[in-house]
Amino acid sequence: MMTDLFTYGTLMVPAVWRSVVEDRYRSQTAWLSDFQRLTLKNQVYPSLIPAADQIVQGVLYLDISPDDLCRIDDFEGNMYERIGVGCTMGKNESVKAQTYLLRNEFHHLVSQQIWSLSKFLEQGGLDRFLEDYPGWSSS
């Protein structure tokens, strides 16, 4: 069964995405309501936590294969759980997807700083991320 996946952090960056998955996927901008994207303390990547009246913009990858979904699960690790969500794309078109939510037991690691893709890219976060977290490409 193929799965649509809402990404909100480093997986929105093509270089990171391609280092994790094997296939090519269509993607488009999407929005997720009632969640907030915050930086984790001492990290360059974000977390996603429930937050009423907040909206997170991300990238929706379409029809992810089960094998690649397993690779993404491994990439996300045990701090995150994959959950079903409803997101919006295009002209208010709703779509069911999955995303990765920070597990409750790790909420103490969340800063109050909003994570921004543009700041991540402008301030060298991508280089730091790729340097600190290499090796997700399939072997």
**What pLDDT digit, counting tens, does each position of 13-71 carry?**
998 999 899 889 999 999 999 999 999 999 889 999 999 999 999 999 999 999 999 99
CATH classification of 3-116, choosing from 3.10.490.10, 3.20.10.10, 3.30.930.10, 3.90.190.20?
3.10.490.10
Residues designated catalytic = 76
Using pLDDT thresholds of 50, 70 and 90, give the confidence band for residue 134: low
φ, ψ (nearest 5 deg) of residue 76: -70, -30
Q: How many angstroms separate the CA atoms of 63 and 21, rounded? A: 12
Query: What pLDDT sits at residue 138?
Result: 40
Q: Is the dihedral of CA 13, 16, 18, 21 positive or negative?
A: negative
